[in-house]
Structure 1
Amino acid sequence: MNRRDVIKTGLTTGGGLAAFSPKGLMAATTERRRLDSSFPKNFLWGCATASYQIEGAVKEDGRGATIWDVFSHTQGKVANGDTGDVACDSYHRYRDDIRLLKDLGVGAYRMSIAWSRMFPEGRGAANQKGIDYYNRVIDTLLAAGIKPYVTLFHWDLPAGLPGEWRNRDTALAFADYAGFMAGKLSDRVRHFMTVNELRCFTDLGHLQGIHAPGLKLPPAEVNQVRHHGVLAHGLGVQAIRAHARAGTQVGLADNTTIYTPVIETPEHIAAAKKATREMNAMFLTAIMEGRYIDEYLGQEGAAAPKVQAGDMAAIGSPLDFVSLNVYTPEWVRADDSPKGYAVVPHIASSPRMASPWLIVGPEVAYWAVRLVSELWDPKTLFISENGASADDPMTNGRVDDVDRVMYLRNYVGQFRRAVAEGYPLKGYFLWSLMDNFEWADGYTKRFGIHYVDFATQKRTPKLSARWYREVIRRNALV
């Protein structure tokens, strides 16, 4: 008899009225709640960071300049003139940060490689000091019992690549770099993610101009940048498979826009699925289907991307897993329009965290897993990022970030629902291990579960770190 059966029969086990005592009822109820909040035995818990956001040491050991070095040093581009020159100084303090991970009890760490530490100009001769550094990090992680999940591109593009993402050749350069890294690391790294958040490094950097390289291009050029981004991913997958040890797993980390039904009824669910497929047509839809769907091509017309022979086959290279960065929903409802759906805009009273864009909608966690699963049937899903910015005042050496704990508890609960319903979610990486350089927001927004005093580099666990440690210890929602 399993423990769930014991609970079902426990009120009469042993006979007599004692089985119906308040204490017995309370114990049974507590056990039932514990089981109902649990995750599968081998569920993977981790934390995530990115190279430019934590490493610093931007001019040490042969590292080349990146477009974010250039952008952050351009007046008016980043809040308070902040840069990633020092960041969390993790280049020198990685052992301390791995101790933080071990203290949490995580099984995995999602980190990224700084492309320009490996190839200072993006191509050419490899930098041995860069290789040595990441070997040290990975070996220290493994010694601590923590599996590295490596992202190869998390926005810090080498500035030496001519034309950056406007140039198709950048996708080819990425494939060369990805294959090289797979050859060097796949004896110890078993999971590679090609790129992080296609929509951010393409659209925010080339359409809205608020991220590096800070451009506002016309639609045709933006679509070509997007194409080069997904092409880099696809060519990267092929290169990793060609150079990695047998059994290496390959995927990507994408902030797919998840259209969440306003009400969980069949018509709104169908609208959410249709919107998620169509509104991600240039990114995850193209990758999972190996083509640009007719709705996207018809919408863009003459501005549609120029595609060369073999591009879509590469872009659609089969993946071992898909990872999703999940923060905030886009609400959608069914309607009578030709599309069959309408996006419901966020309004001033929408609940949000410290970052204005970070609307709180825990249901998106469940729908991200469900919709991606039902649309494209990936073999395995991970949540490669989920977290929240908060004000994080420190009082008497403590940061009681109850608002972040509220956010995380509700989102993890929705991920747990998806797991319970049988969707293939196998792991969760909390963003982030510690406060860091938050791109155009500089150091004004804190996402970490460890507080970083950027003047002294002291790390202090927040209440959210203690909460997450308990989640991991129990393997259950707390």
Structure 2
Amino acid sequence: MTPQQSGMQQTGLRLPPGFVIGTATAAAQIEGGVAAGGRTPSVWDRFSDQPGRIIDGSSTAVTADHFHRHAEDVRLMADLGVDAYRFSLSWTRLQPNGRGSLATDGVAFYERLLDELQAAGIRPFVTISHWDLPEEYEHGWLDRDTAARLGEFAGLVGERFGDRVDSWITINEPATVTLNGYALGLHAPGQALLFDALPTVHHQLLGHGLAVQALRATGVRGRIGITNVHTPVVPAGDSPEDAMMAALFDVVHNRVFADPVLLGHYPQVPDELSPLFGAFAEVPVEDLVVISQPLDFYGLNYYMPTRVAAGAGTGESPDGTSQAMADLPFRLEEFDEYPRTGFGWPIAPEAFTRALAEVQERYGQVLPPVYITENGASFADAVDAATGAVDDQERIDYLAGHLDAALSAVTPGAPAEGLDLRGLFVWSLMDNWEWAAGFTQRFGLVHVDFETLERTPKASFRWLAGLLRARGES
């Protein structure tokens, strides 16, 4: 047995009984087929059509062509041996123009996918809103009415697919939507409103609450949760100013999205920062009741820690360049002590432990079971010209380190003891269209040639398959 095989076996044997290992994707990143079956444009279709928005000039038009190749992709997951597949629904494939009843062709596509997953013994975790709003919602999440539209859409899909979905996620990473889409202008719809983007926080969370109500009203059999992305935040230096700005970033990235859902209120902020948060000053109590309904699980995405310093930004952000960063009262500093992913994100499994510990400390008494709904990394994967193989050892090391950190964090006496961790989803099943980064960042366990669309399992795919076999042999 090689050292790597021994490590796979040890990690596989550490997985608790019933611990779910899955892969994750998002519709806009893999489906393509943007005009098939009456699908109408989303905000990401339109954003990717604007010159200069996507780093390599690519678009949502084809991506990984999952729309036509879903059967092949499910067979890959079956070969991998995962328990579950987290995917999202294309809103405008199912509800063209964001209005009216569900489209027959869109329903048929997802029914075929669900049939294939069921035949393969793979549990579907379905995300209702993963960033790609109908373009007809002119003001997007700045408009309170969009929350009502999400609730209506959730009711329609719950009624149609509710007997076949294991778990529902109402909305994915509202923090990224607010910060990158409305505050910094890096993502669709491309607005750079800074703190004036905060109404989108409340409207997304209200949409989540209305979606929960709608799903339960239809009697879905699956469990219901939300997915938030968490980053542990540290000050860059010892000054009180750095500490205050780190606390501010923790609020705007983590707490304004988690506190209302789990505690029923927005976080308190120091008096000197309160003018920035006027959007939450007069939130109706009844809205918070809707937002904070008990959940069956909490989805947590983790990628990296964040280091914050006081003082104006430089225009640089982790996901690209935004002039809006230069107008903020803080800036993001690098973690030079850690290696980095292809995106330049610090690889710090110990920060994953901190993220879980912070969530347990803040919300432990009300925190439902937790799934890591995304964890993964992009690297410059090289294809062997002679064999076509992809030896992505960096990804194997990343995934092994982070899975070990998550499992260790919740053991007796560990920092997140008491947190009920139920599973982890690797981002991503396959290389995809990585939003504003286009095809320049590869996260997949499966390599995709974006010219031929050929799929090739990477070394990380074989590593994870071996880990899952080791679990089954325990």
Classify the TM-score, shorter chain. Answer: 0.7 to 0.9
**Contact in 1 for aligned 2:335/2:346 (Cα 8 Å):** no
1:260-279 to 2 correspondence within 5 Å? none
The Cα of 1:72 is off from its aligned counterpart by 0.3
CA distance in 1, matches of 2:295, 2:342: 35
1:251-266 to 2 correspondence within 5 Å? 251-259=225-233
Deviations 1:15-63 (A, max 9, x none): xxxxxxxxxxxxxxx89x9389611121111100000000000001011
Q: Please give the TM-score of this superposition, normalised by the length of structure 1.
A: 0.84
- What is the DSSP-based 3-state SS (H/G/I as helix, E as strand, rest coil) of the residue aligned with 1:253? strand
Aligned pair 1:90/2:81, yes or no?
no
CA distance in 2, matches of 1:117, 1:36: 38
Q: Which AA in structure 2 matches 1:459?
A: R
Q: 1:65 aligns with which of 13, 25, 41?
A: 41
CA distance in 2, matches of 1:127, 1:429: 29
1:119-138 to 2 correspondence within 5 Å? 119-138=95-114
Q: 1:351 aligns with which of 326, 339, 362?
A: 339
The Cα of 1:465 is off from its aligned counterpart by 0.5
Report the aligned-residue RMSD. Answer: 2.7
Which has the higher Rg, Structure 1 or Structure 2?
1
**Contact in 2 for aligned 1:116/1:122 (Cα 8 Å):** yes
The Cα of 1:365 is off from its aligned counterpart by 2.3
- What is the DSSP-based 3-state SS (H/G/I as helix, E as strand, rest coil) of the residue aligned with 1:81? coil
- What is the DSSP-based 3-state SS (H/G/I as helix, E as strand, rest coil) of the residue aligned with 1:457? coil
The Cα of 1:332 is off from its aligned counterpart by 8.8
The Cα of 1:171 is off from its aligned counterpart by 0.4
**Contact in 2 for aligned 1:432/1:447 (Cα 8 Å):** yes
1:432-443 to 2 correspondence within 5 Å? 432-443=428-439
The Cα of 1:202 is off from its aligned counterpart by 1.3
- Relative distance call for 1:210 and 1:259 in structure 2 (3 A) is same
**Contact in 2 for aligned 1:260/1:364 (Cα 8 Å):** no
Q: Which AA in structure 1 matches 2:396?
A: V
Q: Which moved more, 1:43-52 or 1:229-238?
A: 229-238
Q: Which AA in structure 2 matches 1:232?
A: G
Q: Report the number of matched residues.
A: 427
Aligned pair 1:446/2:442, yes or no?
yes
- What is the DSSP-based 3-state SS (H/G/I as helix, E as strand, rest coil) of the residue aligned with 2:425? strand
- The equivalent residue for 2:157 is 181
Aligned pair 1:228/2:203, yes or no?
yes
The Cα of 1:295 is off from its aligned counterpart by 1.4
Tell me the percent identity: 38
Q: 1:241 aligns with which of 187, 199, 216?
A: 216
Aligned pair 1:423/2:423, yes or no?
no
Q: Which AA in structure 2 matches 1:54?
A: I
Aligned pair 1:393/2:382, yes or no?
yes
- The equivalent residue for 1:467 is 463
CA distance in 2, matches of 1:260, 1:327: 15
- Relative distance call for 1:347 and 1:372 in structure 2 (3 A) is closer
CA distance in 2, matches of 1:214, 1:69: 12
- What is the DSSP-based 3-state SS (H/G/I as helix, E as strand, rest coil) of the residue aligned with 1:251? strand
Query: Any gaps of 5 or more consecutive residues in structure 1?
Result: 1-29, 263-271, 334-341
CA distance in 2, matches of 1:407, 1:55: 26
Q: Please give the TM-score of this superposition, normalised by the length of structure 2.
A: 0.84
Q: 1:285 aligns with which of 259, 272, 277?
A: 259
- Relative distance call for 1:163 and 1:364 in structure 2 (3 A) is same
1:295-444 to 2 correspondence within 5 Å? 295=269, 299-301=273-275, 303-305=277-279, 306-330=282-306, 345-348=333-336, 350-356=338-344, 358-377=345-364, 378-395=367-384, 396=386, 397-421=388-412, 422-444=418-440
The Cα of 1:273 is off from its aligned counterpart by 11
Deviations 1:169-219 (A, max 9, x none): 000000000111111111010210011111111110111000000001252
The Cα of 1:348 is off from its aligned counterpart by 4.3
**Contact in 2 for aligned 1:230/1:283 (Cα 8 Å):** yes
- What is the DSSP-based 3-state SS (H/G/I as helix, E as strand, rest coil) of the residue aligned with 2:52? coil
CA distance in 1, matches of 2:270, 2:254: 9
